[in-house]
Amino acid sequence: MSDDGSPAVRRLGNWDAEGLRALAEEHGTPLYVFDPARVRENCRRLRGAFPDAEVQYAAKAHTARRTLETVHDEGLAVECASAGEVRRALRAGVPGEDVTYTAVNPPAADLEYVVGAWRDHPDLTITAGAADTVDRLEERGFDGRLRLRVNPGVGAGHHEKVVTGGHPKFGVGLDRAPALAARIDESFAFAGIHAHAGSGISGDDLADHRELVRRMGELARDLEADGVPVETVDVGGGFGVPYREDDPALDLDAVADATREALGEIEGQLAVEPGRYVVADTGVLLTRVNTVKDAPETVVAGTDAGMTALLRPAMYDAFHAVRNLGRGGDRPVDADRETVGVTVAGPVCETADLLCENRPLPRPARGDLLAVGNAGAYGYEMASTYNSRPRPAEVTLAGEVLRRRETLADVSRLDAPGDSTPHSHEGEP
Ligand SMILES: *Cc1c(COP(=O)(O)O)cnc(C)c1O
């Protein structure tokens, strides 16, 4: 429990089955269900653990306008990974002073958009991770708030593909940071230093987190000693969430204590920027079983959601809890079905298109509704139209449509005219 009494995690089992079944009936599947009230609880727990720090929400985890409005209403700033996210944040009413754009090999169009936005919102902050990016901003007339992304040489994460802290793609090496910081301080409004280790800081990874923070604190003190004031020391996000039902909740207070201790005394302000932690347990994905097949090694439950609706299992071998909500009616599904090894497989012609493999679950039946847990972060955001498959709808727990379901017509709307001549049998599915 945290100060406001909210549980540190919401498990898949805590979602109301009846309510989810009703939403699937009304809006169809696959369907993302999102709970804004839970976003507020997670924001408050973060603010409680880091009362003196600037807490930024990493928007890429979930960019729905409602999420951006909610996190901002709870006092979080917004960290954006692209021009599109900056645009979303500003349109959601987040003021420039609470918007940071983290430029990673930024396409020219992103820089042009963000520098244009800066002219209207001169308080927004850009984070650059290469001297080249600093040059490109200068060439475009930008002389506003600029933060330096450092590569601290340590990373952390639940999968090698999400470990960013030590990869040369991200940030400038610690040895080159002082010279570049001094240069930024001369020509821009130097807004401090930034690093992000990767995603999935858990109890086991705290040592890496500590080491990253320690190096950042040391760099801040070195810069101050060189006469470069460091307004903010941003140590990134990556706060883990328990994807497995028996994983313990992240001890946020322990992370906060370790962070403060490793940072040491600094002149400026600490900043953190979690994404997943804010939204992972605010969302579930609902999918309907359409085909059941008894293979010798597993029972295959074919579903209408696969890797185009939720990419994380295919991309990161990510584990997401799955719960069979049955077809409704008078008996809870778990009571009268044997438990078998179930492989939940989507409709995409790729072997990786599985939501889980040989998971012990109640024997599936055609028409069952499955709920996939912790789908609020990087779920809808990574959805694609591969296989010309429309993206799911997203609704709030109260049934309000946040993002409507894509149609077959939507999927081909960018095609050159003539490539998308409608057929007479074509209804709007
Ligand atoms: C993705 C990202 C985050 C958020 O990571 P989470 O694992 O969702 O907390 C924070 N900062 C930067 C720079 C990122 O790229």
pLDDT digits (tens, 9 = 90+) for 294-313: 999 999 999 999 999 999 99
Lowest mean pLDDT among 57-66, 77-86, 146-155: 146-155
> Is residue 239 a part of any domain in this protein?
yes
- CATH number reported for the structural domain that contains residue 398 in this entry: 2.40.37.10
Distance, CA of 114 to CA of 121 (rounded, Å): 10
Instruction: Kindly state whether residues 272 and 367 are assigned to the same domain.
Output: no
DSSP, res 84:
H
Question: 54 CA distance to ligand 1 centroid (A)?
Answer: 15
CB 202 near ligand 1, within 6 Å: no
Lowest mean pLDDT among 185-194, 203-212, 419-428: 419-428
Instruction: Kindly state whether residues 275 and 287 are assigned to the same domain.
Output: no
Residue 248, pLDDT above cutoff 70? yes
Residue range 24-33: mean pLDDT, rounded: 98
The verdict on whether 349 is a catalytic residue reads yes
Instruction: Kindly state whether residues 270 and 301 are assigned to the same domain.
Output: no
What is the greatest pairwise CA distance in the chain? 74
User: 114 vs 165, which has greater pLDDT?
Assistant: 114
> Is residue 82 a part of any domain in this protein?
yes
Tell which residue, 222, 239, 140, 142, has the closest CA to residue 181: 222
The domain of 395 spans 281-410
Distance, CA of 342 to CA of 338 (rounded, Å): 11
Residue 158, pLDDT above cutoff 50? yes
Instruction: Kindly state whether residues 272 and 286 are assigned to the same domain.
Output: no
- CATH number reported for the structural domain that contains residue 243 in this entry: 3.20.20.10
Pairing state between β 299-303 and 283-294:
antiparallel
The tally of domains found in the chain comes to 2
Instruction: Kindly state whether residues 243 and 297 are assigned to the same domain.
Output: no
Question: 27 CA distance to ligand 1 centroid (A)?
Answer: 31
Q: Which two tokens stand for residue 45?
A: 């727990």
Residue 329, pLDDT above cutoff 90? no
Distance, CA of 205 to CA of 155 (rounded, Å): 9
Pocket test for ligand 1, best of 56, 60, 149 (most atoms within 8 A of CB): 60
Instruction: Kindly state whether residues 210 and 75 are assigned to the same domain.
Output: yes
CB 58 near ligand 1, within 6 Å: yes
Distance, CA of 257 to CA of 245 (rounded, Å): 26
Q: Between helices 108-120 and 131-139, what is the axis angle to 10°?
A: 60
Distance, CA of 261 to CA of 257 (rounded, Å): 6
Question: Contact at 8 Å (CB) between 209 and 250?
Answer: no
| Alpha-helix runs per DSSP H in 226-290 | 252-263, 276-279
Instruction: Kindly state whether residues 258 and 294 are assigned to the same domain.
Output: no
Q: List residues bridging with 128 in a β-sheet.
A: 103, 148
pLDDT at res. 428:
52
Q: Which two tokens stand for residue 132?
A: 């080249």
Residue range 261-282: mean pLDDT, rounded: 97
> Is residue 12 a part of any domain in this protein?
no
CB 312 near ligand 1, within 6 Å: no
User: 150 vs 417, which has greater pLDDT?
Assistant: 150
Distance, CA of 4 to CA of 49 (rounded, Å): 12
